[in-house]
Structure 1
Amino acid sequence: MQTAQRIIYHYRRRRFILCIVLAILTLIVTLGLRYVTERSDNRHEIVEYSQRAIASLEKVLEPIEIARKSLVTLPGIPCDMTQYQLREQAARLQTVRSIALVKDGTLYCSSIFGQRDIPINQLQPKLPSVYPLMTLSTAGSLLKGSPILLLWEPSSLDGQSGVMQVVNIELLAGLTLQPRPPLITQAVLNVANQYLIGQTIYDNQLPLARGHAEHRYHSSRYPFAVIATGPSPERVALQSLPAQLPLALMLSLLIGYITWLASATRMSFSWEINLGIAAREFEVFCQPLVRARDRHCVGVEILLRWNNPRQGWISPDVFIPLAEQQGLIAPLTRYVLAETVRQRHLFPASEQFHIGINVAASHFHNGVIIDDLRRVWFANRPEQQLMLELTERDALPDMDYRVVRELHQMGVELAIDDFGTGQSSLAYLERLHPNVLKIDKSFTAAIGTDAVNSTVTDIIIALGKRLRINLVAEGVETEQQEGYLRRHGVAILQGYLYAKPMPIADFPRWLAGDLPPPAINNDRHMSALTLR
């Protein structure tokens, strides 16, 4: 059998585990979502940064390209006739440091120096070129060693003549490619196999800090790319998680608390009782009551036990008090009433035959028991006499005695169960007018062994006789107890000496004498206990 402490601990443990699991899942999901969102934002920021840098550079190169195409017809024209035009274009473009004209591989005119006569490949080894060219280089005059961007447009088929534009890329890159830590620690301009970082040009390979990643984005209009380097978006997102931890913890604790409140019903013993009633897991048993003088069966007490498929056998001593605490004792009583009425044909159809059903005092409030009896019991017109048994441990003084009077008027008998074990009061005996006092089995067991309890038993018997209340002794297990009670005038007896609690379906066989006599004190843990 399960104990109340074990069952309550079991349900609280399940609720606690569920709350902890959901809180942890909430924490993980919250941090995970925050990580995914932060990583996505980081990637978006890198893309946006690179696209904006590319757009800025393209915007600068667009007028330079237009000017270069208008100057491509000038190579071969004397310098004194083109120098003014070159200077005017350089001044208008602003970002262009100089414009030079090349004829047959010789730079012969410059917007800065005017007339010149220098082989172009001495200044820039990659020139002249048959194809248009964009390349990074270093200045050989004026600001020597400073990085520049060379734009070459050939004007002849052999590529020996053309226009060379020198762009002040150091200033342009400094304005366009500003780092944005911690995500972007370095922005690089990539032209062919050359990389501009600050004032330094690296050939063939980009130097990358350890643990950093590169994100390369190409221009769709010009042969260059922008490379953003820095920690990976995943790493930056991961590093930002500690700052999100307090909020995630608060959210997870809130979810855990809400789960604790929400699971109070579904993951509680009250939910288990409701489920048991709906699934008809409760079994209704009966235990006969016999006349002391001839052992003739005059009634039964209806008992309840619960074979819970999820918890195993649960004693009424466990689930009845918990049902009372949760306000579910009335539904259990209705269940017992309905099952008893459904199987009433198995009992003798006589008004002299009593069927006792245990009822809690709380069921009397506001006349609920009256409505239930009219709907369930009297609507089916049973011939047997109904007796409601109230345990003395219930709050009998708080009962509505107008309901008691109405029950008497309806012909329902009242019995006080376990008499002598609770808070005895002669006043409420007078107000209840019970038909029966049931002597608790602890007093019956003391007969012949315990002088004190035997004396109490004698007092209870004398009290019942004096108040003209019928007496029923519970827990009779020996013929010595039977003889003592019979001699002292107790008319009705109940106990293992006559029958163990049995399914109602077995009662006709017992009544006919086909069932073997019960083994005293044998297999008690399997017996159904009284609904209290």
Structure 2
Amino acid sequence: MQTAQRIIVNYQRKRFLISAIVALVTLSLTLGIRFISQRSLNQERIHEAATQAVATLDKILLPLEDSREETMRLVGLPCAEVQPLIRKKAAILQTVRSIALVKSGILYCSSIFGARDIPVNQLQPALPASEARLLLSTDQSLLRGSPIMLQWYPVSADGEDGVMESINIELLSSLILSPRAPLISALSLTLGDRHYIEGLGVVDRLADDQDHPLYRLASANFPFTINVSTPGATALALRDLPSQLPLALILSTLLAWIAWLATAGRMSFTWEINLGIAAREFEVFCQPLLNTRNNECTGVEILLRWNNPRQGWISPDVFIPIAEDHNLIIPLTRYVINETVRNLAVFPPDHHFHIGINVAASHLRRGLLLKDLNRYWFDTNPIQQLVVELTERDALDDIDYRLVRELHRKGIKLAIDDFGTGNSSLSWLEKLRPDVLKIDKAFTGAIGTDAVNSTVTDIIIALGQRLNIELVAEGVETEQQATYLRQHNVLLLQGYLYARPMPLAEFPLWLAQRTPLPVRHNHPSGPIMPLR
């Protein structure tokens, strides 16, 4: 079982642990949220940059697509007739460097040079082609070696006739492919198996840089892809994380301090007892009393046990004194009375069967006990005999003796529990007029071993018999003790020799079998103290 000191230390540890956990969780959540937020923002910016580049290039190519039918109708017409038209169209489109008309594989008219007679595949080996094509290449006419984007529209089924439009990609690269450090280190354009990189021109392959992976976004209108080279949204968010540390530390320290203050009141044993009462964590046990004259069970003493789900089994020696010191013993006693009344059916319906309930002296002040008994006990008209066992831990001199007389008038027996160990006085025997004296187990255990305590036991026995007060010996554990007590006419015995404390639900089975129950493995193995 837990000890008071261990429980207090556990509460202090829990309080420190809770505050530390709050601090760590706050620090982790703050940094985590900032990291996730920054990473999402980086991803949005990367996607936005790629989307903007795709949209810009789409806007350049869509006018060419829209006017291609008009231009394709010019193929085959004399160059002198159509050259002003295609020159005007190139000027209007602005981004188009030149427009060339091809007939039977021969480039015969250019918006820049006018009439020509050059095989188109001599200028662009990939042309002519039977399907429309968009490709990256280099200029072989005006600015030799400069990168261009070519748009080819075939007119004939064999692809020998068509329109070739050259777009000056270098003029557009600063608009659509400019990097935005540190988020974006480079942008590139991919068409087929060729790529354009600002500053490098048209290349056959992109460099494989593991530190700057590519984010690719394809156009929905044309067969090109924008590649964004970036350190990565995650890497950039991690790089930015240390700048968020001061804010996270401030928040974690503040919430840890709040948690420390908040647990000051809750991390206390009195709060634990109140929680135990509210959550019905306490369990009511009973220990039988035997009349050794006829070996019959004549009653039980009601005991309180606490299997705290947070601390484990807590001894009554721990929680009862604390409850008494913090004015919680009366709520605990009410709990015991209420639970006993709810389970009266487990006891024999006999007027001579005694049910003993421990009551602190403070409960007898201002008529509190009588009010509680009227509410819980008398209201159910129980058959069994109630015995109020008054503990001597509290001073007995401020008891309302009128209440004692009223209890006697109502047929309730009064017992002094653990007689001889507390604040007892012989004069109180006259004032209280108890019906029962319960010999404390310390004196019972001294029988045959301790000469001084054994003598005190004899004196208590003689006193009880002299005053015609019924005697009950607690803590009987050996046959030697039982024999000695019987020889001295103490016939009501209670202890492990006959039965250990047991849950109320097990009492009918024990009574039917009349054999001591074995030690329950899920209950404490040490001595179990009553509520006193």
Query: Would you call these one fold, judging by a TM-score over 0.5?
Result: yes
Q: Residue by residue, what CA displacement relative to the aligned partner does 1:297-319 show, whole Å, maximum 9, x if unpaired?
A: 99756243769799998765466
Change (3 A) 1:247 1:432: farther
Provide the rounded CA distance (Å) in 2 between the counterparts of 1:472 and 1:83: 132
1:115-130 matches, cutoff 5 A:
115-116=115-116, 118-130=118-130
Is this contact kept in 1: 2:186–2:228, CA < 8 A? yes
Residue in 2 aligned with 1:302?
301
Is this contact kept in 2: 1:323–1:329, CA < 8 A? no
Displacement of 1:95: 1.1
Residue in 1 aligned with 2:520?
none
Provide the rounded CA distance (Å) in 1 between the counterparts of 2:411 and 2:61: 108
Residue in 1 aligned with 2:197?
197
Q: Any idea what SS the aligned residue of 1:530 has?
A: coil
- Higher mean C-alpha deviation, range 18-27 or range 97-106: 18-27
Provide the rounded CA distance (Å) in 2 between the counterparts of 1:30 and 1:170: 45
Change (3 A) 1:234 1:399: farther
Displacement of 1:48: 4.7
Residue in 2 aligned with 1:285?
287
AA aligned to 2:205 is Q
Provide the rounded CA distance (Å) in 2 between the counterparts of 1:88 and 1:263: 87
Pairing partner for 2:334 from 323, 330, 337:
330
Residue in 2 aligned with 1:520?
none
AA aligned to 2:332 is L
Q: Residue by residue, what CA displacement relative to the aligned partner does 1:369-391 show, whole Å, maximum 9, x if unpaired?
A: 32443355435656765431121
Residue in 2 aligned with 1:69?
69
Residue in 1 aligned with 2:416?
416
1:211-222 matches, cutoff 5 A:
211-222=211-222
Displacement of 1:198: 0.8
Provide the rounded CA distance (Å) in 1 between the counterparts of 2:111 and 2:185: 37
Q: Any idea what SS the aligned residue of 2:339 has?
A: helix
AA aligned to 2:334 is A
1:96-495 matches, cutoff 5 A:
96-116=96-116, 118-140=118-140, 142-156=142-156, 159-180=159-180, 184-231=184-231, 250=252, 282-288=284-290, 300=299, 302-304=301-303, 316-317=316-317, 320=320, 327-336=331-340, 339=343, 342-345=346-349, 349=351, 356-361=356-361, 363-364=363-364, 367=367, 369-379=369-379, 386-394=386-394, 403-404=403-404, 406-423=406-423, 438=438, 440-443=440-443, 470=469, 472=471, 474=473, 478=481, 495=493
Is this contact kept in 1: 2:389–2:415, CA < 8 A? yes
Q: Residue by residue, what CA displacement relative to the aligned partner does 1:281-339 show, whole Å, maximum 9, x if unpaired?
A: 6442222478xxx9999975624376979999876546655776764342123334554
Provide the rounded CA distance (Å) in 2 between the counterparts of 1:71 and 1:206: 35
Provide the rounded CA distance (Å) in 2 between the counterparts of 1:64 and 1:39: 38
Displacement of 1:197: 1.1
Equivalent residues, number: 504
Change (3 A) 1:366 1:180: farther
Provide the rounded CA distance (Å) in 2 between the counterparts of 1:385 and 1:444: 26
Is this contact kept in 2: 1:285–1:303, CA < 8 A? yes
Is this contact kept in 2: 1:282–1:305, CA < 8 A? yes
Is this contact kept in 1: 2:464–2:471, CA < 8 A? no
Is this contact kept in 2: 1:146–1:199, CA < 8 A? no
Displacement of 1:210: 1.9
Q: Residue by residue, what CA displacement relative to the aligned partner does 1:24-58 show, whole Å, maximum 9, x if unpaired?
A: 99999998898888777766655554344322211
AA aligned to 1:210 is Q
Change (3 A) 1:469 1:96: farther
Displacement of 1:130: 4.0
Displacement of 1:194: 1.0
Which ranges of structure 1 fall in alignment gaps of 5 or more residues? Answer: 517-523
Displacement of 1:394: 3.7
Is this contact kept in 1: 2:337–2:376, CA < 8 A? no
AA aligned to 2:339 is Y
Q: Residue by residue, what CA displacement relative to the aligned partner does 1:473-499 show, whole Å, maximum 9, x if unpaired?
A: 745865997599x7xxxx967557997
- Higher mean C-alpha deviation, range 83-92 or range 362-371: 362-371
AA aligned to 1:221 is N
Q: Any idea what SS the aligned residue of 1:226 has?
A: strand
What TM-score, normalized to structure 2? 0.68
Provide the rounded CA distance (Å) in 1 between the counterparts of 2:399 and 2:237: 67
Displacement of 1:160: 4.4
Change (3 A) 1:303 1:66: closer
AA aligned to 2:373 is L
Change (3 A) 1:374 1:91: same
AA aligned to 1:334 is N
Q: Any idea what SS the aligned residue of 1:174 has?
A: helix
Is this contact kept in 2: 1:276–1:308, CA < 8 A? no
Q: Any idea what SS the aligned residue of 2:349 has?
A: helix
Provide the rounded CA distance (Å) in 1 between the counterparts of 2:481 and 2:395: 33
Change (3 A) 1:131 1:390: same
Provide the rounded CA distance (Å) in 1 between the counterparts of 2:512 and 2:89: 121
Q: Any idea what SS the aligned residue of 2:210 has?
A: coil
Provide the rounded CA distance (Å) in 1 between the counterparts of 2:398 and 2:90: 106
Change (3 A) 1:463 1:247: farther
AA aligned to 1:330 is R
- Higher mean C-alpha deviation, range 164-173 or range 30-39: 30-39
Q: Residue by residue, what CA displacement relative to the aligned partner does 1:206-263 show, whole Å, maximum 9, x if unpaired?
A: 3221244434333232232223343556666676777788869959x88x96998999
Is this contact kept in 1: 2:31–2:248, CA < 8 A? no
AA aligned to 1:136 is L
AA aligned to 2:152 is W
1:52-63 matches, cutoff 5 A:
52-63=52-63
Displacement of 1:122: 3.8
Q: Any idea what SS the aligned residue of 2:163 has?
A: strand
Residue in 2 aligned with 1:90?
90
Change (3 A) 1:129 1:479: closer
Change (3 A) 1:337 1:153: closer
Displacement of 1:89: 1.9
Displacement of 1:59: 1.4
Provide the rounded CA distance (Å) in 2 between the counterparts of 1:483 and 1:103: 134
Change (3 A) 1:341 1:358: farther
Provide the rounded CA distance (Å) in 2 between the counterparts of 1:441 and 1:84: 124
Change (3 A) 1:426 1:152: same
Q: Any idea what SS the aligned residue of 1:328 has?
A: helix
Provide the rounded CA distance (Å) in 2 between the counterparts of 1:62 and 1:509: 98
Q: Residue by residue, what CA displacement relative to the aligned partner does 1:118-159 show, whole Å, maximum 9, x if unpaired?
A: 544443333344443322122345544332112233445554
Change (3 A) 1:242 1:367: farther
Change (3 A) 1:508 1:96: closer
Displacement of 1:196: 0.8
